[in-house]
Structures are given as C-alpha cells and as structure tokens.
Structure 1
Amino acid sequence: MIKKPIPEPPLNRQSSRAKIDDVAREANVSPATVSRVLNHPEIVRAELRDKVARAIANLSYTRDSAGRALKSGRMRTIGAIVPTLGLSIFAEGVEAMQNRLSESGYTLLIANSQYDQRREVQEMQSLIERGIDGIALVGGSHGAELRTLIRQAGVPVITTYVAKAQAGIPAIGVDNEAATRELTKFLLDLGHVAFGAIVNIPPSNDRSRARLDGIQRALAHAGITLQPSQIIRADHSLAQGRSALRQLISDHPDTTAVICTTDTLAIGAMAEARHMGFSIPQTLSITGFDDVELAAQVDPPLTTISVPATEIGRGAADYLINAIAGMPIPRSVQVPYRLIIRSSTSKPRNAGLSPGRSARTKQGR
C-alpha cells in the first residue's frame, strides 16, 4: 500500500513574518538597536545602520503597524484633503508634507474634494474611520458639518495656503489678499487704468476670494472700480481661462491689464489673447497667481505671485507632528510670497488699439 504524503500545514503568515528579534539576531545587534534604527536613525552610527538595513533586506522585514498602533493608541497616520491633485501647487505641497512625515514614521493618506464641500465632508469621514492621528486641510472655508467632525475626531488639524486661523483651526500659508494688492499696485504703477479680472471663486475657495478682494482694494485706492462685467468667474481650467478672456474683451475691448487668480486661468487667457490677435504684453498685460513650473516656460513668461508650497507642506507636517507630541504650537504661521515679474506685463503702450493693430498703423492714421 502506497502511503500518500501528508500535506504540509498551510503557511501561517503571522508566524512566518520576521520580527525585530529576528532582525537583531541576523545583524548581531540588540533589539533596542534595531528599534533605534527604525525610529531614530540619526542617532545610530552609520555602520550599525548598514548592518540592520542588510538584515532587514535579507529577512524581508516589514514593520507591524497594526501592532504598534494597538500598543501606542495611534496609527501614526495623517490625513490630507486637497481640492485637487491636478494642480502642481497642491501636488508640490503634498509631496513635501509626505516627505517630512515619513522622516518621523508617519504615513500620509490623501483625498481630494474637487472644491466640493459635501465631498470634503465624505472624505473627512472616511479618514476619521481609518483612525488618523491628524488632519491637514486647504483654506478656511469649511462648513459646519466638517467642523463638527473635526471636533468629534479630537485630533490635531491645520489648514494650509491661508495665513490666519479661522473657526479655531490653525493655519499656515500666505496672505492672499496682500499678495494681489501688491500685484495690482505694480500694474497701476506701470500706468494701467483699464482692468479686468478672471477669478475662480466657488464657495469653498476663500483663497481666490481674498485675491479678488486684494485686486479691488488696490484699485479702489487708486480711484478705480471694477464693474461686475469686468470680473469674469470661471472654473479652474485652461479652457475656462480662454473663454473668460473672450468674454472680457468682448464686453470691454479697451482692457489693457487682466489679473487672474491662478496661473492656469492666466495661461489659458494668454493663449486666447494670442488667438484673438493681441500682442502680449504690448497690447495686453496678463498676470497669474501660484508660480507653477509652466509659468516660467510659456511665451511670454508669466508675471505671477510665487507661493512657497514646499515650505507650507513641510510646515504643516511639523505642526501636526508637534501637536500630536503635545508640544506648544502657533495658531497662525504666515510664510512669505514673492511677486515674480516676467515678460507678460509692461506699460500700456498700445492702449485702445483693436486686436491685431500695430502702433505704426495708429500713428499713420
């Protein structure tokens, strides 16, 4: 009678998984040394770090996050909700935040709201259910339901890209209103008096509303009032920038300066202006906001406000790490913006010309 081989018991994933003690034996160091390498590598000698790293690789060791969470009461996970990752200004900030959090052993979970406050609430609920230890948001325009969720979660929260705390939520970012006041004054000093604005101001975007406020206040100080038809509302896209520019020029053909609340809208407006026969900046000056990478590469390069997204992302991460650790934290942190002057703006040399007409044609009439 042929005996059938006895099947091996199924592999127990937990029992086969390498532990810190296994790594310590492989590296011939103490478990405490392995723990220090994993949590505070900067205090461990390079040769010990290398030995532990090789042992980790040999054993395919991974950290037991669930076990550590049970022991500490924390998941070492941070949640971030941004309007969209389709804009480099937010992607850059998220990347900087993730890098800084990773240095301290935190994982970042990212969600996007698409500028929709209802979706922001849904994403917040999902993050809280995952046991996050802290939350990073964008802007200060948050509904009552979201603020209630934040209070119930009882974890540190910070909002980014704005400079002042609102509704008890700390903030780190730039003064958007002051930035566009400075930008508008720059255009006024060049001699512009015929202005238009292309703005994306959904209810959830207090940053762009503040930028519009800055434009209007600077113009009011100079005795200029923007009429409602000189303020074109648009969604955040190149196509919307193009259509908004067409509408603005159709209603106000004498416009010589167009201020956009984002670089994306400005780049779209520039494309349409060229299509309509305008010369930039000779007959039309256009500005943006954010200083995305493309702003310096378009033709002509775009005058804009530079927002330090990397500094904001790192600062938000540091704030949450320190708050979780119970350290003193500021309520508001204002980081500096910069006015970047490029070739999309100049004095209004050909004000009043119709599209495609040159200064020589006007002089020869």
Structure 2
Amino acid sequence: MDKSLNKGRVNARVKIEDVARKAAVSAATVSRVLNHPEIVRPELRDKVTRAITELSYTRDSAARALKSGRMRTIGAIVPTLGLAIFADGVEALQNRLSEGGYTLFVANSQYDQRRELQELQSLIERGIDGVVLVGGSHAPELRALVQQAGVPVITTYVSKAQGGIPAIGIDNQRAIRELTQYLLNLGHVRFGAIANVPPSNDRSRARLDGIQKALADAGIHLEPTQIIRADFSLAQGRSALRQLMTDHPDTTAVICTTDTLAIGAMAEARKLGLNVPQRLSITGFDDVELSAQIDPPLTTISVPAAEIGRGAADYLINAIAGIPIPKAVQLPYRLIIRASTAPPRAGSATRRTKPKARNN
C-alpha cells in the first residue's frame, strides 16, 4: 500500500458520518447528541459519546460558522480576573453560555478604558456574536464601535442602562447606604473610607457616594483625609488603613468599597494592635468566599455574581435569537452581618446627631 495514501487517510478529518457508522446510528442522531443531548435516550447518547472519543472527533466550527453566518462566540471584558467577584461571574457566564452552545472569549482591561476599547476591537474582529462588559463608564468610542459592529451587548454589576447599553446588576449606592446606616445604628460617628475609584470604576464611585450621603444625612462629614483612595489589592488595603489611622487615630469604623481592601485593612489593624471589632469595625463589599473564613469574619454586602453571569448569558442568547429582552435588570443584594463590626467601645465616640431612620 502507498504509505503516502495511508498517511493521508490517517490525517483525514473525522466526519459526523464516520461517528454515525462507528456508533451504528444515523448522522441526525449524532447531531442531536452534539447539540441537544438532553433529548437523546441515554443508551444512544452513550454509544455516540464513545464513538466520538474513540475517533477523536471534533466539530468543524469554522465550517458551521460559514454556513450559519455566526461564530457562536461571546466576548467578555472584565476589569481583572484577580478579584474573586469577577472570576465567579465569568465562571457562571461561561457555564450558561456553554449550555447554549456558545464559546466564551475573556479579556481584561485592568480598569483602563483605552485597553477595554482595544480588547473590544480585537473581539469584534474575531467575529463574536455578543459582548459582556462591566459597569457603565466606558470610552466614548466604545458605544460607536458596538453600534457599528451590530452585535448585542450588555453591561454587568450595575442596574441602570447608560448610553443605550442594557444592564444587569445591583444598586451599588443603595447597598452601601444600608451598610453605613447599620454602622450608624451601632453608634459609630468617627468614620473612614477606603475606596478604589479609578475613572472607569463607576461601581466603587457609587459606593463612595453612598457612604458620604448616608453620613451626611446623619450630620457627619468626611474630610478628604478620611477618604483613602487605593487600587484593588490587599497591600493597598493595608497601607490605606495605616495612613487613615495615622491621620485620624480616633476612627472607630472603616468602610471599604471591596472585600479585598477590607481584608487588607484587617491584616494591618492586627499588625497595629487594633482589635477588630472592639477597637475598630471594618466592612467590605462583594462577599467573596474568603470573607466568611477570616478572623473575624467580615461584615459585607453580598453581590450575586453568579446570578449576574447567568443573567448576562441568557440576555445575549435571547437577543441573538431575536427574543424581546429588558433594558435593565436590578438584582437583590444582601447585607451580611458578621463579627468584624460592633458598637464602639465606651468612651471612644460621642454621638453628635441622631441618625435619621432610612428605608433602603
């Protein structure tokens, strides 16, 4: 036998018909197993799956895309995958998209609007069918690029549509106002805030605004030196707490705009000999898994990251299919009260005004 012919036969791409012959089923059955396995009888599904494995069959996505005019891919651009809140959302997004037969491409912007725009351009050039973004602050050119590409887009972790881009998420300002009110009700009047507020992070800006508004309603004004701006790292949380307590040693409550900053602040408080919560109450925002495991466990706001990811996937799948979709979806958050907060110790604070009751 001609070895070159044999080599060509070995390297020939396995087709769906080859799988069908191997499993002794029709090509239509193989197609159903690949696209809708839930409607195929288990015994047939198992036969086809074994044949696929034995033949090392893979679907020709490029050919399918040319035939349908769609790549069945979704692009997601997140600020960073270094924060659990985004990693959890991306995982849920990918799982739901996979159920619908879509592949997810992920990029990160590092909170840089220009980089976000570049990543979006790259994803669009790959022929994606939809886009998932984070937040409502984007470069002006981004909206024009999305409109020109003609692909559905949704932004996440915020609850208000901006610039014509639909949204799914929580009301960040309302959530942190509720948390701040909780601290006021405990008796705290000497506050500090640690916030990561780069221009592209409208979620943390909304949280900082919420802190200041809740305190203003109680007759408390934060001086500029009582608000420490930081990036999203543990190290920044530590240095911010050290700076805050150096400038304002009478502080009894520190509100952080992320759990990462709060966990860093708690580590620094321990190093400075400041007992949490007896001497200093510290709160976060996100409710990442570590928040419940540290000592003491962290009081925080729980953000439904997995639900946001699944909701974004459903939105895009429906939009691509031409199904009517809402412009904005507001999901519920939860105030999680744990052991990192307590009333200020006797003599450490004197209430100047009685906080107003708020319905959040």
In the superposition, the TM-score normalised over structure 1's length comes to 0.93
Match of 1:22 among 18, 21, 28: 18
> Residue by residue, what CA displacement relative to the aligned partner does 1:289-342 show, whole Å, maximum 9, x if unpaired?
001111111111110001111111111111111111110111111111111101
Displacement of 1:210: 0.6
Q: Secondary structure at the match of 1:258?
A: strand
Partner of 1:196: 192
- Gapped regions of structure 2 (runs ≥ 5): 350-360
Distance in structure 1 (CA, Å) of the matches to 2:53 and 2:3: 30
Q: Secondary structure at the match of 1:277?
A: coil
Distance in structure 1 (CA, Å) of the matches to 2:36 and 2:281: 52
Partner of 2:108: 112
> Residue by residue, what CA displacement relative to the aligned partner does 1:139-177 show, whole Å, maximum 9, x if unpaired?
110111111111111101010111111110011111100
Question: Which amino acid in structure 2 is aligned with residue 233 of structure 1?
Answer: R
Q: Secondary structure at the match of 2:199?
A: coil
8 Å contact from structure 1 (residues 83, 112) kept in 2: yes
Match of 1:164 among 149, 160, 165: 160
Q: Secondary structure at the match of 1:8?
A: helix
Structure 1 position 349 matched with structure 2 position 345: yes
> Residue by residue, what CA displacement relative to the aligned partner does 1:333-353 show, whole Å, maximum 9, x if unpaired?
111111110100000015539
Partner of 1:363: none
RMSD: 1.6
Distance 1:331 1:61, change over 3 A: same
Distance 1:163 1:14, change over 3 A: farther
Distance in structure 2 (CA, Å) of the matches to 1:97 and 1:158: 12
Question: Which amino acid in structure 1 is aligned with residue 15 of structure 2?
Answer: K
Structure 1 position 286 matched with structure 2 position 282: yes
Q: Secondary structure at the match of 1:168?
A: coil
8 Å contact from structure 1 (residues 283, 351) kept in 2: no
Partner of 1:216: 212
Question: Which amino acid in structure 2 is aligned with residue 232 of structure 1?
Answer: I
Partner of 2:124: 128
Distance 1:237 1:16, change over 3 A: same
Structure 1 position 140 matched with structure 2 position 136: yes
Count matched residues: 349
8 Å contact from structure 1 (residues 282, 350) kept in 2: no
Structure 1 position 295 matched with structure 2 position 297: no
Displacement of 1:93: 0.6
Question: Which amino acid in structure 1 is aligned with residue 304 of structure 2?
Answer: P
Q: Secondary structure at the match of 2:193?
A: strand
Displacement of 1:232: 0.7
Structure 1 position 266 matched with structure 2 position 262: yes
> Residue by residue, what CA displacement relative to the aligned partner does 1:223-262 show, whole Å, maximum 9, x if unpaired?
1111111111001111111111111111111111000000
Moved more, 254-263 or 146-155: 146-155
Distance 1:325 1:180, change over 3 A: same
Specify the structure having the higher radius of gyration (Cα): 1
Distance in structure 1 (CA, Å) of the matches to 2:94 and 2:2: 49
Distance in structure 2 (CA, Å) of the matches to 1:13 and 1:346: 73
- Gapped regions of structure 1 (runs ≥ 5): 354-365
Distance in structure 2 (CA, Å) of the matches to 1:78 and 1:13: 35
Question: Which amino acid in structure 2 is aligned with residue 275 of structure 1?
Answer: K
Partner of 1:328: 324
8 Å contact from structure 1 (residues 254, 351) kept in 2: no
Q: Secondary structure at the match of 2:4?
A: coil
Identity of aligned residues (%): 78
Structure 1 position 175 matched with structure 2 position 171: yes
